Structures are given as C-alpha cells and as structure tokens.
C-alpha cells in the first residue's frame, strides 16, 4: 500500500472533541440524555438570527430564485463584497472596498488559503498557545512549518518575550486568535500594541514583512467589560480571516472571508496568490446562497445572551469551588486547570459524573481542560453541584 | 517580495472563459445584450428543479430550521449519506452504503481530496485530453505530476495505445471525465472495457493498484441515442467524483461527493486519507443545507431539454455549414475544428460577428474550439447565420 501515511493517520485519528461527543451520545442512550452534561463541542447552541431563514425564504420566492445558485466570481459576488465592505467600513473604519475581500468556504478555508498563499520553502508560522487544534494541520498541509510559542500562564495573553525569541529570518506570519479558542481570552490593546511594535521591529531587522493572520470567528461573542480591538488598527500587515459560523450560528454552511486592507505589504501579489491558492485547493467560489446571507446579515448576531449567562455561572461557580479558571472575555469556552498534573486523568474522573469535556493537550496547553458552554443554561446549572463533588475528591477549596 | 510565484501567476491569469465572458458583458453594454452571442461559460442556463427551492423553504419553515445550519460530521451527515447511498444503489447497483460516501464542497473539492489522498512523492496522474483546464492545477497543487495522453482524434475516445505507452511504475491514477468537457463525448462501453482490461494488466505488472478517478458532473446530461456506462461496473478501483452543479443547476452552491465502493483497493486506508486530505485542505464539512438538498433531490434533474434542442441545432447546423464538429453525446459543449491552424485566430475572427467562444488550447487540444450551448435556444438560432458568414470567409462547404 502506497498512500500518504500522515493523511491516513489524520483521517483515522478522531478529533478528541468528537470522540467525547460520541461517547456522550452513547451514554445518553444508556442513562438518559438529561443526565449527560456534554461540554465538548463548540457547536453554537442558539438559533441563527430570525433574519437568516426569513431572508433565504424571501430570496427563493423572488426574482433571484434561480440565479442565486449560479457560479459567482472566484473571489465572491461583486455586489456581496461591496455590501460587506460597506458594513466593515461602518463598523471598523478602513475604508474598505470590494477589492479588499476574498470570500471563503468558512474560516478554515480562509486560513488554508492564507497559509498556502504565503508559504515559500522554509517559511515558519508562529502559533500562540493555546490554539485551535487544526492550525498545525492547516500549516503543514499547505507548505509551512508551525512554531509554537507558550502564553504568559498568569494571564493567557501572549508571552511577548517568548514570541520575540521565536522570530527568525524564516518567520512569515504570526497567527492571532482573539477572542481565543480554547482560553476565551481577549488580547488587550496593550498586548496588541506591543506585539505590533515587536513585529515591525523584527520585520525591519530581517528586511521582509511579517504578516499577522487574525482568525476571528468569535469576534462578536464578547462579554461585559471586554472589547475586541480591531487588529488592522494596530498593524498594517494584517490579514483578517472571518467566519459567520459562531456569530450567526451557521457553522455547517461554511461562509467567511479574508480581508486584505490597502496597507498590507505586497497586497496585489498576495491577493493574487490567495486567488491562486483557492484554485489549487479546489475552492471554486464560496457557497453562493450564503454569500447573499452574509451580505444581508453582516453585523447581526444570534441572541448571544445565553453565553454571557453561562459564562458568569460557570466562571464564578467554578472559582468559588476552588478551581483555577481563566476568565473568558469572549467565545463560549472556559479553561479550567486540572487539579492533578494529568488533565486527561481529571477528565476521566469528571466523566464518572457524566461531566464531559476534553483536556487541552491538543491545544498545546497540557494540564488544563476546555469547557464549551454553548449549551442550555440548565446544563450548566446541573453541572455545578457535580463539579462540587469532583472538587471534594481533590480537596479543593 | 517572497511569495509563491506560481500561485501569483495562477491568481492573476484569468481563466480564458471568464476573460471572454467579461469582454461579452462589456460588448453587450456597447451594442446591446441581444447582439452578443456568448458561448463561453459552462454556467447552466436552466433553472434548478422546482423541488430544490420548495424543499429549502419547507425545511426552513419546519422543526429543523435552526439545526440544519449546524456542523455535520466531516464526511457528511449520516442520514444524508444513507439516503444518497440508497438512491445510488437504486440507480446503479452496488449496493452502496453511507460508509462508501464522502460529501464534498463540489467536484473540484472531490478531485483535490482524491489527488491529495493518493499522491506520494513521484506519483503520476494521467489526464486524457481534451480535459477541464483546472485538472493540472489540482494535481500539481496536491503533490502529483500530471501526464497528458492525446485522444484518438477521429472519435475523441481515449487513444488506448497512447495510454498504455504513458503508464509507468509511477502511475497512481487515470482521470476519466465522461461525458467530457470540452468534447461532449461519452466514452463507450467498449472503450471502458478495454481501458479497464489495460489498467488491470498494468496494475498487475507493476504490483500496485492504478485507480480510476471518474469526474462525473455531466452524468445526467446525455442526448438521445447515448448512455453513460457506470464505471465501477467496469473497474473495481474506481473513485466516482460527482457534483450536483450541472444536473440540478446549482454550480455556486458547491455540493458533491466521492463514492468509494467496497471493491476499491486499500479502501479503508484510502477513505481515511481522503478524510485527512479534507482536513489539511480546510474542508470542514460540505455545506449543510445543500447536503439535505442533495439527499432530497438526488436523481432529479433540471429540465434539460433545451440542451438537446440546442445541441441538435448546433451540431447539424454547423456540420451542414462545412465545419468539422465532434458529435456531443452529453454535456452542453460542442467542439468545432478551427478552419485555420490557429484556433485563437479563428475565435478572434468569430468575435467580429459577436460570436464568443474560446479555443481549446487550455484544454490540451489546440486547433479546436469549445462552444458552450447552455444558452437560450434563441441565441443558437441567431448564431447560425453568423456562423454561415464566418464559414464563407474560410470558403467552407
């Protein structure tokens, strides 16, 4: 047999969240779904904004009913990109125009196109731990080499000293994901200013641009007292990768974009390389109906209040029980420190209470776990007394 | 500037069909749309079957309205794959089950996943000319080396002698696209039997499987007197790549599948490698709403009668005018031989009559042109008198 071994491995090894999810479904069948408290998957629990389905029904009853399913240009329908650019300009400044946008089949596709478009032989891409498990596959699969930088464990902000030591003449880009999966942390303006300053200095030192790739699917899921700075305001060479998966609760529909503003270095060539990357990866155009949905609904969100409620209950509840938690500024994730060195063992112990969540070893953060609270609030309320029993086992508090 | 030069080229160079299309739009603005007879793009001209939009509206008004937009498993929603497998079994035999299917973001994604999953260093993929312009990009972009085999120019069936001479110990797969873009030719059962026999012999000689990758977006667009053989009946190691783009007139929605039947060599490993390929290429899942549409509408087609009408008018009309044409057995393409050696020059001359179509040089078939007759019949009727004038310039007939 002569097939690429790494891909076989990658296709055989289940993502740990999906493994837990499947265990949860099995367990629900055994003991009843109401007893299984599954915090494994980042699947939005709230419905899309009503406008999404209303708009689709209107569109499919109107004069565009047939043409809406046709090919669009590879970078996305011009009218769609114009509307999105206007919306982004209203919300974030810019100004942006249609030529700054390349619509993608979700954020994963956006990231893959960026990595592919940037990676020359030997190029390194810096990942700030903790980070989404798939990043390393996206980078190695598209010609780059990932370099992992640990966080400042006191705050889970990036450790800029460690970042500086990791930058070499081979550094092509740094990936930023804020609000962060899995930590929920929002990088502060201070962090971003200092990071931008560092990158400008290093880019000048090495004589070539170092890009920031900002993966922002959680941009709109932000909690009281927090706000998400707009990265292009801090650093010119920023590529924004966005997805409507979480804000509009449309993760299965795969719609997102890359924003490449005017100040980005080698912008024309890079935009062309992204188009070329889309071609070789087989992305003909982003799904056409949902391009229209994005244009119609950009800036709207699903009703995200349940995430705030769940976050408050969980963060305060677990902290009071003696757990060490990272305070989430956004997303629907919370990281809790394992009370024993082996986080997988802690997860196994939690499983006995039918509390299901993964360790963050695969997120490059051993010793911690990720609780995805995109669930009904009732699930959180049922979980807390069980977390209390679990805390007692460890003698917390 | 240090960016991948080949991708910049690929993203800058417009596909010739799109270039002509844009010229056509400009020209329509100058002289009126009714005067411009644009046969450049393979964008279906007929509406999707009514059931498509009706079904979406029903689904979005029913109990699944919210959940339908959620993540599915990477290989596609189980229920969807079960329905599709049952439909394929009814239509083609098999039997097939859900585990044989991997849903994709259209046929381009299906092909890229197959190439990526199969390609080990040095592996060659044979393309039977003429073929869709993007194949070479898909192959080189995913780690393979394309090898081009010319057709039998008398019939535009594959030249099996030339194919045999092209097969080496490095041959990993042969790509078949029947009904063929751009020739419209349907490979006969005789061709396919002989090809299968050849591949079995060569696979045995070299001691490893040689796969057939069957790209079938035009499977249902077949003309009177022709039928499309089912490749897995001829050759065990066949991967079927399908798209609903043309049959349901949904090219922008990007929905298709890979079918990997039980007899395929190293099936389990190959299925896993395809899942792994999907991961590294950034394909999280095929668009979820249109997965449901595919399950509901598989086997239906748009009203394809206009393609038969146009094909008859064009094929007989052009032949009577003295042009040399390949008789299309399917698709909505017809190849006409350039009356002068340089097909691009012929296309330029046709342009003076506002007859727009590309030469097939990029399809690896110089000296010919492709006429995409997925247009209103009126467009064909208006074109024929102009083709007559053009024929007179060349002294045809």
Q: Cite the residue boundaries of each domain of chain A with CATH code 3.40.640.10.
A: 67-297
- In what side-by-side order are the strands of the sheet with B211-215? B101-104, B256-260, B238-243, B211-215, B171-176, B124-128, B145-149
Identify which of A69, A172, A266 has the shortest CB distance to residue B48.
Answer: A69
B53 touches chain A (CB under 8 A): yes
Per-residue pLDDT, A190? 97
Chain A CB contacts of B68 below 8 Å = 252
- B1 to chain A, closest Cα gap in Å: 7
Quick one: what percent of chain A has pLDDT higher than 70? 100
Closest residue on chain A to B62 (Cα): A53
Residue B66: what pLDDT? 83
Mean pLDDT over the full length of chain A: 96
pLDDT digits (tens, 9 = 90+) for B81-133: 999 999 999 999 999 999 999 999 999 999 999 999 999 999 999 999 999 99
Shortest distance, CA A320 to any CA of chain B (angstroms): 34
| Residues in B 7-26 with any Cβ partner in A closer than 8 A | 7-12, 18
Report yes or no: A309 at the B interface, CB cutoff 8 Å: no
Residue in chain A nearest B60 by alpha carbon: A53
Note whether A208 contacts B279, CB cutoff 8 Å.
no
| Closest chain B residue to the Cα of A209, Cα to Cα | B1
- Residue A11 has its nearest CB partner, among B10, B251, B276, at B276
Q: Residues of A with CB below 8 A from B284's CB?
A: 106, 108, 251, 254
The answer to whether residue A271 scores a pLDDT higher than 80 is yes
Count of Cβ atoms closer than 10 Å to residue B35 Cβ = 12
A57 in contact with B, Cβ within 8 Å = yes
Residue B22 confidence (pLDDT): 85
Do B321 and B336 contact (CB within 8 A), yes or no? no
pLDDT band (50, 70, 90) for residue B316: very high
Backbone dihedral angles phi then psi of residue B22, each to the nearest 5 degrees: -70, -40
* A5-19, A81-95, A275-289, B127-141: least confidently modelled range: A5-19
Query: Any idea of the CA torsion for A286, A292, A297, A298, to the nearest 10 degrees?
Result: 50
Q: Do A71 and B112 touch (CB under 8 A)?
A: no
> What is the pLDDT, as a whole number, of residue A397?
73
Residues A32-60, mean pLDDT to the nearest whole number: 94
Peptide bond into B179 cis (omega under 30): yes
Query: Range(s) for CATH 3.90.1150.10 in chain A?
Result: 5-49+303-394
Segment holding B72, helix H or strand E:
none
Question: Tokens standing for B231?
Answer: 């490749």
d(CA B54, CA A246): 27
- Residue B174 contacts residue B163 (beta carbons within 8 Å): yes
Query: What's the mean pLDDT in A73-96?
Result: 96
Nearest Cα to A246, choosing from A48, A27, A29, A35? Answer: A48
pLDDT of res. B25: 87
Hey, is the C-beta of B345 within 8 angstroms of any chain A C-beta?
Answer: no
Looking at chain B, the domain(s) classified CATH 3.40.640.10 span: 51-297
Contact B303/A at CB under 8 A: no
- The answer to whether B42 touches B372, Cβ cutoff 8 Å, is yes
User: What does the pLDDT read at residue A18?
Assistant: 79
Give the per-residue pLDDT at B243: 97
Contacts of B290 in chain A (CB under 8 A): 287
Tell me what the mean pLDDT of segment A280-304 comes to: 96
Nearest CA in chain A to B109: A282
Question: Mean pLDDT, to the nearest integer, of A122-136?
Answer: 97
> From the list B3, B44, B287, which residue is nearest A269 (CB)?
B3
CB contact under 8 A, A287 and B288: no
The answer, for A250 touching chain B at a CB cutoff of 8 Å, is: yes
Please indicate if any CB of chain B lies within 8 Å of the CB of A287: yes
Token output for B345: 């020059």
Q: Which strands, in side-by-side order, build the sheet including A101-104? A: A101-104, A256-260, A238-243, A211-215, A171-176, A124-128, A145-149
> Which range is least confidently modeled, A193-202, B22-31, B294-303?
B22-31
Confidence bin at A13 (pLDDT 50/70/90) = confident
Quote the CA–CA distance of A381 and A390 in Å, as a whole number: 15
Q: Give exposure, B312-339, as e/b (b: 16+ Cβ within 10 Å).
A: ebbbebbeebebebbbbbbbbbbbbbbb
Q: pLDDT over 90 for what percent of chain A?
A: 91
Residues of A in contact with B53 (CB under 8 A): 60-61, 65
Task: Enter the tokens of residue A61.
Answer: 């009853």
Report yes or no: A142 at the B interface, CB cutoff 8 Å: yes
Q: What is the pLDDT of residues A313-364, one digit of tens each?
A: 999 999 999 999 999 999 999 999 999 999 999 999 999 999 999 999 999 9
Query: Which numeric CATH code is attached to A5-49+303-394?
Result: 3.90.1150.10
This model of the complex carries an ipTM of 0.95
B243 touches chain A (CB under 8 A): no
Confidence label for B13 from pLDDT (cuts 50, 70 and 90): confident
Of the candidates A9, A47, A69, the beta carbon closest to that of B253 is on A69
The partner residue sitting opposite A284, judged by closest CB among B120, B249, B254, is: B254
Q: Quote the pLDDT of residue B368.
A: 98
Instruction: Assign A22 a pLDDT band (cuts: 50, 70, 90).
Output: confident
Residues of B with Cβ-Cβ distance to A143 under 8 angstroms? 4
Tell me, yes or no, if B273 comes closer than 8 A to chain A by beta carbon.
yes
Rounded distance, CA B277 to CA A11, Å?
8
Q: What is the DSSP letter of A359?
A: B
What is the predicted pLDDT for the residue at A17?
82
CB of A358 within 8 Å of a chain B CB? The answer is no
- CA distance, residue B393 to nearest chain A CA (Å): 36
Q: Does B43 touch chain A (CB under 8 A)?
A: yes
Asked if residue B143 lies in contact with residue B295, where contact means CB atoms within 8 angstroms, the answer is no
Picking from B11, B53, B117, the nearest residue to A60 by CB comes out as B53
Of A14-28, A65-79, A314-328, the least confident: A14-28
- H/E run at residue A215: strand A211-215
What is the phi/psi pair of residue A96, to 5°?
-110, 150
Q: CATH fold of A67-297, please?
A: 3.40.640
Q: Before A182, cis peptide (omega within 30)?
A: yes
Cβ-Cβ pairs closer than 8 A, A with B, add up to 245
**What Å distances lie between residue B360 and A87, A247, A345, B182, B366, CA to CA?**
42, 45, 62, 8, 6
Query: Closest chain B residue to A5 measured between Cα atoms?
Result: B273
8 A C-beta contact, residue B64 and residue B288: no
Q: B171: which strand partners?
A: B124
- Give B-chain residues touching A61 at CB under 8 angstroms: 53, 57
Beta carbons of B3 and A117 less than 8 Å apart? yes
The model's pLDDT over B206-228, given as tens digits with 9 standing for 90+, comes to 999 999 999 999 999 999 999 99
For residue B260 the two structure tokens come to 């990997």
Report pLDDT digits (tens) over A352-387: 999 999 999 999 999 999 999 999 999 999 999 999
Q: Which residues of B touch A211 (CB under 8 A)?
A: none
Q: Is the pLDDT of residue A119 over 90?
A: yes
* Closest approach of B374 to chain A, Cα-based (Å): 13
| Three-class secondary structure of residue A239 per DSSP | strand
Q: Return phi, psi of residue B351, to 5°.
A: -60, -30
pLDDT tens digits, A223-242: 999 999 999 999 999 999 99
Average pLDDT for residues A78-100, to the nearest whole number? 97
Contact check, Cβ <8 Å, A250/B69: yes
Query: What pLDDT does residue A16 have?
Result: 82
Peptide bond into B230 cis (omega under 30): no
DSSP β-bridge partners for residue A260: A239
For residue B287, pLDDT beyond 80: yes
Partner residue opposite A277 with nearest CB, options B7, B66, B269: B7
Using the predicted structure, report yes or no on whether residue B357 has a pLDDT greater than 80.
Answer: yes
Q: Are A248 and A53 in contact (CB under 8 A)?
A: no
Fold of B51-297: 3.40.640
Query: B70 and A120 in contact by Cβ < 8 A?
Result: no
Could you tell me the two tokens for A105?
A: 């089949």
Q: How big is chain A by its Cα radius of gyration, in Å?
A: 21
Residue B61 touches partner A, C-beta closer than 8 Å: yes
Q: Please give the mean pLDDT across all residues of chain B.
A: 96
Please give the pLDDT value at position A281.
Answer: 97
């Amino acid at each position: 047999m002569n097939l690429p071994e790494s891909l076989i491995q990658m296709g055989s090894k289940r993502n740990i969240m999906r493994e837990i999810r499947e265990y949860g479904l099995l367990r629900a069948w055994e003991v009843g779904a109401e007893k299984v408290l599954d915090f494994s998957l980042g699947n939005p629990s709230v419905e899309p904004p009503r406008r999404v389905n209303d708009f689709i029904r209107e569109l499919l009853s109107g004069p565009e009913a047939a043409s809406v399913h046709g090919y669009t240009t590879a970078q996305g329908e011009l009218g769609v990109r114009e509307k999105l650019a206007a919306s982004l300009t209203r919300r974030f400044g810019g100004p942006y125009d249609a030529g700054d946008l390349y619509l993608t089949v979700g954020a994963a596709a956006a990231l893959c196109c960026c990595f592919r478009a940037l990676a020359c032989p030997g190029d390194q891409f810096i990942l700030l731990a903790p980070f989404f498990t798939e990043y390393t596959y996206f980078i190695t699969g598209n010609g780059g080499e990932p370099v992992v930088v640990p966080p400042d464990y006191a705050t889970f902000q990036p450790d800029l000293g460690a970042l500086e030591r990791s930058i070499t003449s081979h550094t092509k880009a740094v990936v930023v994901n804020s609000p962060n999966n899995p930590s929920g942390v929002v990088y502060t303006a201070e962090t971003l200013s200092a990071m931008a300053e560092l990158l400008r200095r290093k880019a000048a030192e090495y004589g070539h641009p170092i890009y920031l790739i900002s993966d922002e699917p959680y941009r709109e899921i932000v909690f009281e007292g927090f706000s998400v700075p707009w990265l292009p305001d801090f650093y010119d060479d920023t590529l924004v990768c966005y997805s409507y998966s979480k804000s509009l609760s449309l993760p299965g529909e795969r719609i997102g974009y890359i924003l490449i503003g005017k100040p980005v270095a080698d912008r024309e060539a890079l935009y062309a390389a992204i188009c070329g990357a889309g071609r070789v990866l087989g992305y003909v155009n982003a799904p056409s109906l949902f391009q229209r949905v994005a244009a119609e609904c950009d800036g709207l969100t699903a009703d995200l209040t349940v995430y705030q409620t769940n976050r408050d209950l969980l963060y305060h509840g677990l902290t009071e029980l003696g757990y060490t938690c990272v305070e989430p500024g956004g997303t629907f994730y919370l990281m809790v420190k394992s009370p024993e060195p082996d986080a997988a063992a802690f997860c196994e112990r939690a499983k006995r209470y039918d509390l299901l969540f993964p360790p963050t070893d695969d997120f490059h953060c051993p010793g911690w776990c990720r609780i995805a609270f995109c669930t009904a609030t009732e699930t959180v309320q049922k979980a807390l007394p069980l977390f209390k029993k679990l805390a007692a086992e460890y003698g917390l508090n």
